[in-house]
Structure 1
């Protein structure tokens, strides 16, 4: 399969820059049904397209609910999580299952997460699904100084995947 061109994907899928986090996205589904959560009333589920290029990355952030990633096309993505115990996990998410790249990966709610295109990659088209659904009010952006203080053993990676 040919690697898609980022500009074409952005245009054809109607993607827009994702504020604060980075990358490109478009919400493709939001359930009309809602449910109560500790954060307030939320849609039962949401889904987005998400695109990374060499000059973008998903900055450290966390969400209260589980987020399921799906790899659709392009190059692999390094997806990093830090759990409540401070353990760092790296998952190489991609479409080449025969090379050990899972095409789906679950990030549990409450974990810090960040991602980037693999070195030398040109584009990755992903999707994420959340249930309960995503709400910008639930997004917690990782501040570099705070993350350094809590996870000093991961300082290098935190520095690479935060802004400012």
Structure 2
């Protein structure tokens, strides 16, 4: 494949290493803990923290197959919601999503729906693997002069991972990456799938898969 499909992956390396034990809000810095408390955030299975902020009451006929995309996801979240109807989807849903120094990684996953992201504060790097095998990576943050993104869209079907960067390039601290995500049609765990190492090795050449495997959920 061409160089544009497989760019230099040197910048894709962790800036923060979480504790070996399961991290909790109590282990976060005071500023990070304040954000978690004020926004009523909870730990997310993808990594980081989240809170649902809006669920559109309008429903539409589901454009997706009735069977879940991944049984592994359904098992991880303890099953589908009791009121889930596979025949419909909400028009949209929105969440806060927060990466922190103790929970700095959002593992590779994909969704059937497109997701619109909006930056609130902090910096991070996103890594996408598109359905055609093309790898895309970019930094999100406030420095638009250096090409950092304030808004970005991930289309349904693309694998997505993200990780925290220092608030200031070249330094070592962060108060976390806070964004909003709006999913259209609305988010359901039936439309969610984690990338496995086996699948990663099938869709990327060995060298590229090895460079990105740290972004795969174990």
TM score, norm. by length of structure 1: 0.90
Q: Residue in 1 aligned with 2:63?
A: 38
Choose from 28, 37, 43 the match for 1:17.
43
Q: Residues 77-129 of structure 1, C-alpha deviation per residue, up to 9 Å, x if partnerless?
A: 10111111111000211122233211000001110110001253521111101
SS in structure 1 at match of 2:202: helix
Q: 1:81 to 1:41 in 2, by over 3 A?
A: same
Structure-2 residue corresponding to 1:61:
109
SS in 2 for 1:160: helix
1:63, 1:138 within 8 Å by CA — same for their partners in 2?
yes
Match of 1:90 in 2: 137
Q: Which protein is bigger by CA-based radius of gyration? A: 2
Aligned CA distance change for structure 1 residues 22 and 121 (closer, same or farther; 3 Å): same
| Partner SS for 2:212 | helix
Structure 2 CA distance for partners of 1:145 and 1:121, relative to 1, 3 Å: farther
In 1, are the aligned partners of 2:108 and 2:217 still within 8 Å (CA)?
Answer: no
More deviation, 52-61/24-33 = 52-61
Q: Distance in 2 between matches of 1:141 and 1:118?
A: 22
Counterpart in the other structure of 1:147: 200
What is the CA–CA distance in structure 2 between the aligned matches of 1:121 and 1:50, rounded to whole Å?
A: 19
Normalising to structure 2: TM-score of the pair?
Answer: 0.69
**Counterpart Cα distance in 2 of 1:128 and 1:103:** 12
Q: Point out the structure with the larger strand share.
A: 1
Contact 1:62–1:140 (8 Å) recurs in 2: yes
**Secondary structure of the equivalent of 1:84?**
coil
Aligned residues: 159
User: What residue ranges of structure 1 are gaps of 5+ in the alignment?
Assistant: none
Are residues 121 and 136 of structure 1, via their aligned partners in 2, closer, same or farther at CA, if it must alter by over 3 Å? farther
In the alignment, what sits opposite 2:212? Answer: 158
Q: CA deviation at 1:163?
A: 2.7
Superposition RMSD on alpha carbons, in Å?
A: 1.6
* SS of residue in 2 equivalent to 1:5: helix
